[in-house]
Amino acid sequence: MPRPALGRRAAFTAAATLGAFVLTTLPAAATATPDQVATSKANGVAYLKSLQGADGSFAGSGLSNEWAFSALAAAGSAAVDVTPGGDTSKNARAVYRDLLATGTWPSSSPVVTDYERATLNAYAAGIDPSRVSASRNLVADIYRYWQTGEPGYFGPSGNFNGTVFAALALNGAKTTSGQIRIPQALRDAVITRIRANQHDDGGWNYGKAEGNSAQLATAGDIDMTGAAMAALCVSGVPNTDPAIAQAKAFLKGKLVATSGAFNALFGVNTDSNGWAVSGLNACGINPQTGDFLTAKGKTPVDFLLSQQFNPGGGFKYLPSDTAPQAYASIDGLRAVAGGGFTAAPPAPVTSGAPQWVAQPTLASGTATTLALTVDDGSGNLKVCSVAVTPTGTTTTLGAVLDAAAAAATPSGCVSAVTPSSGTGRLTSLNGKADSGSNTWKVSIDGSSFATATRDKSIAVGDTIALRWGA
């Protein structure tokens, strides 16, 4: 089965912690002990560090190991501490940030999952994804792919994984203060699409199934089920929700009693099991007890540990393999470490290194993009990326809306603004005027909604949400 949008199997993988369940504190019934998990993490981190290039890179042209950042964070290792031969000037975080800020990255024909992958891994590396540089805002890059004809999808709806990873990236990569930066209306729109694509057997697959009874009746995929259930949970859906219960039952039905592995469409393998365990982790479901402890006393974590070479630390892809594989090692480590699909970076041990790095201000004369949503209260949510060229270190909401009215991606985000100049309160947007207590309000990076005025200061990387209502 192809994995075009995120390029896996030959070049794809995903995960890390979403602040859910951590395997180092296990109940007595678990079969893998905390000591075994700790050893697996230590050896796995050592192996991933061996994948670093002499220039400090994990990512670049061709095959890329950038998903290592999510696994390292899940295992408690800061990317800024990962250096080739101790050369801190080539630390993995700095090199990755420089790559993401390059104008030619990711390619001449990018897809939405390029930016979703980067958002998840930048966050795990300790780079604010919306403030990579004065010109690079990964959140705004994702917003460009909103499907106005099929609201709730990011990228072509046929590549459903683009929507799943949008949910994982936009919800999982929080602000540096821990705030979810996107508005609830956007979260709800994506949740609706993910629910609509759940197959009859409780699983999900990479392609779109919504509205197609034949597709909904086909078999779900272990990998995508892990990712989709994680996407729902990080979007605020509780693990008691029927969709999560159905996904959990689907995974339970794929367990191999003698090994604890999930029998995936590709057969038993580390990557599929890693994704499934990461999905359970993200939803706060223990993968070592209850439904996931087989009659033979095995769990999915047992299987993953059996796939790891020790003391080398790498994981093999198939049980029959005799050497470790990079992607299997990334998937295996983050799952064993308790990871979902991204994690806040741990505190660095390198002296003077901050936990986070971010562009501090807009650069006058340097074009940048900002993420904007407009919710008029009628269910007609608009989502877009707005290009602006600031004349100072900040700009204003009025300037952003004027730029959006002139050009935005996708188009039509803003059509009319009242007042059209000055510094006053917004009284009408896209033809929707204030009415009594229902007025236009603005939220920045997930803050509480407050009165929207044209002179509202907008800083580098701000995620802007406008909402009409009381």
Domain ranges of the chain: 34-336, 368-469
User: 90-112 pLDDT, tens per residue?
Assistant: 999 999 999 999 999 999 999 99
Phi-psi region of 335 (alpha: psi -120 to 50; beta: other; left: phi over 0): alpha
> Given this model, what pLDDT does residue 111 score?
96
Q: Is the pLDDT of residue 387 over 50?
A: yes
> Given this model, what pLDDT does residue 89 score?
95
Nearest to 97 by CA among 61, 62, 53, 131: 131
Q: How does residue 7 score in pLDDT terms, banded at 50, 70 and 90?
A: very low
Q: How does residue 4 score in pLDDT terms, banded at 50, 70 and 90?
A: very low
> Given this model, what pLDDT does residue 64 score?
87
Q: Residues with Cβ < 8 Å from 135, sequence gap 6 or more?
A: 101, 103, 363, 366, 367, 368, 369
Over its C-alpha atoms, the chain yields an Rg (Å, rounded) of: 22
Dist CA 121 CA 158 (whole Å): 25
User: 55-88 pLDDT, tens per residue?
Assistant: 999 997 655 899 999 999 999 999 999 999 999 9
> Are 409 and 370 in contact, with CB atoms under 8 Å apart?
no
Q: Is the pLDDT of residue 260 over 90?
A: yes
> Given this model, what pLDDT does residue 265 score?
86
β-strand partners of 433? 428
Dist CA 120 CA 336 (whole Å): 18
Give, in order, the Cα–Cα distances in Å from 344 to each of 34, 124, 175, 380. 22, 5, 10, 33
> Given this model, what pLDDT does residue 186 score?
98
pLDDT over 90, % of the chain: 92
What class is the 34-336 domain? mainly alpha
β-strand partners of 425? 453
Dist CA 377 CA 374 (whole Å): 9
User: 187-228 pLDDT, tens per residue?
Assistant: 999 999 999 999 999 999 999 999 999 999 999 999 999 999
> Are 334 and 40 in contact, with CB atoms under 8 Å apart?
no
User: 295-311 pLDDT, tens per residue?
Assistant: 999 999 999 999 999 99
> Given this model, what pLDDT does residue 21 score?
32
> Given this model, what pLDDT does residue 199 score?
98
> Given this model, what pLDDT does residue 63 score?
55
User: 220-244 pLDDT, tens per residue?
Assistant: 999 999 999 999 999 999 999 999 9
> Given this model, what pLDDT does residue 16 score?
32
Assigned CATH topology for domain 368-469: Ferric Hydroxamate Uptake Protein; Chain A, domain 1 (2.170.130)
> Given this model, what pLDDT does residue 71 score?
98
Average pLDDT over residues 410-415: 97
- State the alpha helices, DSSP H only, in 383-422: 397-406
**Higher-confidence position of 22 and 383:** 383
Task: Please give the single-letter amino acid code of residue 191.
Answer: I
Dist CA 324 CA 328 (whole Å): 8
Q: What is the mean pLDDT of the chain?
A: 93
Q: How does residue 406 score in pLDDT terms, banded at 50, 70 and 90?
A: very high
User: 124-174 pLDDT, tens per residue?
Assistant: 999 999 999 999 999 999 999 999 999 999 999 999 999 999 999 999 999
> Given this model, what pLDDT does residue 288 score?
95
